[in-house]
């Protein structure tokens, strides 16, 4: 499956647990995709080819080295993903998005809503691009 098509297929969901269906997670795993999104006010969640979470209360950074994720840089080859909490980024209607992410890893984005409000602009990337 194309990563852009996959990101579009998971976009627009309401915030909840579990956030993604077993089928969506299996599709991500089969295609080597990693889904990154916010949970609560302190977690950066990873699903798909990697399953992990990193604490990032009011924002923070996770580093990816192959299939390892940590909140401490392991080496100079690590690829960071910065979680931004209420950083002022807005949706098309001008509403602040609670969780957004910045990374140099090539990725696609998707949206999660909570009670009709933008909650998270998550990302999907290929595990191959994080190596």
Q: What is the pLDDT of residues 72-118, one digit of tens each?
A: 776 656 789 999 998 888 888 889 999 999 999 999 999 999 999 99
Global confidence as pTM:
0.94
- Per DSSP, the residues of 101-126 read EEESS--EEEEEEETTEEEEEEEEEE
Is the peptide bond preceding residue 56 cis, with omega within 30 degrees of 0? Answer: no
Do residues 88 and 68 touch, judged by C-beta distance below 8 A? no
Given this model, what pLDDT does residue 85 score? Answer: 92
| Beta-carbon contacts of residue 120 (< 8 Å; ≥ 6 apart) | 15, 37, 38, 97, 98, 99, 100, 111, 112
Q: What is the mean pLDDT of residues 22-46?
A: 96
Q: Which of 10, 19, 30 is nearest to 114 (CA)?
A: 19
Which residues face 108 on adjacent strands?
A: 124
Task: Say how many C-beta atoms besides its own lie within 10 A of residue 44's C-beta.
Answer: 25
Q: What is the mean pLDDT of residues 58-62?
A: 91
């Amino acid at each position: 499956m194309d990563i852009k098509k996959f990101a579009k297929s998971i976009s627009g969901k309401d915030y909840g647990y579990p956030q993604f269906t077993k089928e969506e997670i299996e599709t991500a795993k089969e295609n080597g995709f990693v889904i990154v999104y916010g949970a609560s006010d302190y977690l950066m969640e990873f699903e798909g080819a990697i399953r992990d979470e990193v604490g990032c209360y009011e924002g923070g950074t996770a580093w990816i080295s192959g299939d390892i994720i940590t909140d401490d840089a392991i080496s100079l080859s690590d690829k960071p993903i910065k979680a931004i909490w209420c950083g002022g980024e807005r949706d098309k209607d001008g509403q602040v998005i609670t969780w957004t992410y910045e990374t140099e890893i090539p990725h696609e984005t998707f949206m999660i809503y909570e009670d009709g409000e933008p909650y998270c602009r998550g990302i999907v990337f290929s595990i191959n691009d994080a190596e």
